A and B are shown apart, each in its own frame.
Chain A
C-alpha cells in the first residue's frame, strides 16, 4: 500500500497502462488474433498478430491518456455534468430535427437505408415500450422479447389460419401481449430487483421454448411463412402490381420500394403512437403512480395506491407495445421462427433503454439509432483485413462500458416534472431513483 503511494503519479500511470494492456492482450489475443478459416478438409486455425497489436496499443495509450487526464484535472466530474446540461438543452431541438429527418427519409434515401430505418424504428418502438416498464415503473424486465414473440405469433397464426389482415390483427396482437403481461405480472409482483429480473428472464425463455415445441400451432422450428403484408385501405403492395394494388389504383409503375416506404411509415406511425401514449401517461395519474412506485413503493402503499394494480398496468401496457411491434415484425418479414425471439433481443432492447437513459424518450431513440443503425453501418468497413461487422458485439460492449463510465445514468438523464406551477425545470438524475424492481 505504502509502496504504491510513494511512487510518482507518472510511474503509477505507466504501470496501470501496462496492466491494462496485459488484460487486453489476454482478451484480444484469443478474440481477434485467432481465426478459423475453411481449409481443405477441416477448419484451419490462423494467427493474426497485427490487429492484436493494434488493439493492445490502443488500450495501452488510451489508458495512459485517461490517467494523464485525471492527473491534469482532479475535479473530473465537472465535465460530464456540463455535458448533461448541454444535452438536456439540445434535446429540445434535437427531437424535432430527428422527426423531420425521419418523415422525409423516403424522399432522399434508397432501399437499403429505408430497410435500415425500419429496423431502427422497430427497436425504437420496442425501447419506448420497455421504457414504460423499466424506465417509468422501475421494474427490471429481462424477458421483454416474450411479448414481441406473442404479438408476432398472434398475428401470424390469426392471419394464416383465419385469413385476417394486418390491421384487424394489430389490436388482437396487442391484446394478447397485454394478457401475457398480466400473466407474467401476477406471480412476480412480490419479487424485486434481481429476483424479478431472473423470473422475467425465465418467462422470456419459457415463451420461446413453448413456441419451439408446440409444433401443431406454431410450426415449431420451421416457423410460420406466408404471412400477409399490410394493406393501405385495402390496396396491396405486390411486386407485380395487378388489380387492387397501390400501383394499379394510382396508375403508376409497380415497384417494391413502394412497399418498403409504406412499411417505413407504418412503423414510424406505430413508434410515434408509443411515444405519444407514454408521454401522455407520464402526465396522468397512472404514469405518475409508476414513477412514484419507482421512487418508493412503501410510501405509495401508505398513500393508498394499489401497488399490485399499478405494477400490472405497467407490465401490460409495456407488453401491448411489444405485441404491436411483434405484429409489425411478422408482417414485414412475412416469415417468423423462434430464432428471432432469443434472449439477446431482450438484452439489446434493455441495453438501448439503459444507454439512452431510463425514462428518457429522446435518449432511447438516440441509443437505438446508434446501437442498431451504427452497428449495421459497420458492415463493409474493413480495417487491417478485418470486417468490423464481425466485431459488432465487441464494439457494442465497449460502447456500453464507455457510456456507463462517462454517463452512468444514460445518454439523456434527468427528469422533467409531470406537472408544475411555473416553468418546469429539469430534475437532476442524482435525485431520481432507478427503482429496485
Chain B
C-alpha cells in the first residue's frame, strides 16, 4: 500500500529543548497508524508539526493524495493544511465550539464548501450565488455524521452541554466533515470508560474502512493500549523525541526497547549486570 504521509528526519527544537530528533516514519494509505510513547516523548509536537501549528526546525513532511497530488506540509500555512492538503485533527483537550450546537459545529467544519470565497459569502446575504442547495447538502452531510456518532437526537443541543464521551465523538465527526484524507487524533480515548472506548474503536474502524464517510487514513496518539492494539495496523513508538520502534502491534509489544521505555531504563542495565555476573 502507498504511503499517504512520509515524515523524513523531522526535527523540532524549542530553544535548548530538542522535542523531536530527526524522526522518520510513514503512514500508509487506508491504515490506522498509532504513535505511542511515554509522556513527554514528543508525540503531540509531531502532531502539531503535521497539522501546521508548529513550523518544524528541519525535516520534510510529504503528503500524497490518492490522485497523486503532493503537498509539503512544512511549507503550507496553517489553515491550508486542512483546506487544501485535507489533513484534519482533533485535540488532546477537546476544542469544540461549546456555545454552538452539535449541528452548528459540523456546519462550521464545512465552511469552505459553503463559502468558497468572501464574495460568495456576501452574495448569499441577498440570496444570490446558489447558496441554498449547498447549504442543504451540508446539512445532509452533518446529519450523516450525527447519525454515525449516535448524536442525532442531540443535534440542537449546545456542544458544551454534551457528555464527555459524546464531545469526543463529535470532535471526530467535525474533523471528518472537512473530507480529510488523513485524520490525526490526539488521545481520542482519554477519559472514556471501557464501553465508550469500545464504541470509539468501532467508529474509527468504520471511518478507516469507508463505511461512514469517504474512507480515510488515520494517525492516532493514544495511551489506551487496549484501543491501540485492537485497531492499529501499524505502531510507531517514540521516546525522548526519537523513534525506538516501528512495526505491527504484535512486533512492537514484544520489542525489548519498548518494554524498557515503558517500564524504566533500569531493566537493560540490570540485564547487562546479570550477563556479566
Contacts and interface: CB of A to CB of B under 8 A. Distances in A.
B112 A302 contact: no
Nearest to A432: B99
Interface of B: 51-53, 78-83, 88-89, 91, 95-101, 103-104, 107-109, 111-112, 114-115, 118, 121-122, 124-125, 131, 139, 143, 155-158, 160-161, 174-175, 177-178
Contacts of A209: none
Interface in A262-303: 277, 280-281, 284-286, 288-289, 291-292, 295-296, 298-303
Interface string A295-320: 11011111111110100010000000
A239 interface: no
B103 A419 contact: yes
Sorted nearest first, the 6 A-B pairs with minimum C-beta distance are A432-B99, A304-B82, A304-B83, A295-B97, A285-B115, A285-B114
Contacts of A251: none
Nearest to B155: A421
Given A277-B125, A285-B115, A431-B158, A304 B100 contact: no
A291 B99 CA distance: 9
B122 A431 contact: no
Nearest to B86: A304
Contacts of B155: 420-422
Given A284-B121, A302-B88, A427-B158, A417 B82 contact: no
Q: Most chain-B CB neighbours within 10 Å: which of A417, A423, A425, A432?
A: A417
Contacts of B109: 303
A301 B108 CA distance: 11
Contact of A306 (B51, B79, B104, B158): B79
A298 B79 contact: no
Given A284-B121, A285-B111, A433 B95 contact: no
B97 A296 contact: yes
Contacts of B111: 285, 288-289, 292, 303-305
A302 B94 CA distance: 13
A433 B99 CA distance: 6
Which of A280, A292, A301, A303: most chain B Cβ within 10 A? A303
Given A301-B79, A431-B161, A419 B97 contact: no
Nearest to A421: B155
A425 B156 contact: yes
Contacts of B143: 421
A424 B156 contact: yes
A135 to B, nearest CB: 12
Q: Is the interface of B mostly helix, strand, loop or mixed?
A: helix
B45 to A, nearest CB: 16
A427 B80 contact: no
A418 interface: yes
B130 to A, nearest CB: 13
A305 B79 contact: yes
Contacts of B101: 417, 419-420, 427
Contact of A307 (B79, B81, B89, B100): B79
A289 B89 contact: no
A419 B91 contact: no
A300 B156 CA distance: 20
A295 B98 contact: yes
9 contacts: A284-B115, A295-B97, A299-B96, A303-B109, A304-B112, A305-B108, A420-B156, A427-B100, A432-B98
B98 A303 contact: no
Nearest to A307: B79
Find the residue from A280, A285, A415 having the highest chain B CB count within 10 A. Answer: A285
A286 B108 contact: no
A420 B96 CA distance: 17
Contacts of A300: 79, 108
B125 A288 contact: no
B86 to A, nearest CB: 8
A299 B156 contact: no
Contacts of A307: 78-79
Given A285-B114, A313-B118, A415 B99 contact: yes
A432 B161 CA distance: 11
Contact of B122 (A286, A298, A301, A420): A286
A285 B178 CA distance: 14
B124 A285 contact: yes
B69 to A, nearest CB: 16
A418 B138 CA distance: 14
B98 A431 contact: yes
B160 A431 contact: yes
B95 A284 contact: no
B144 to A, nearest CB: 13
Contacts of B114: 285
Interface in A204-219: none
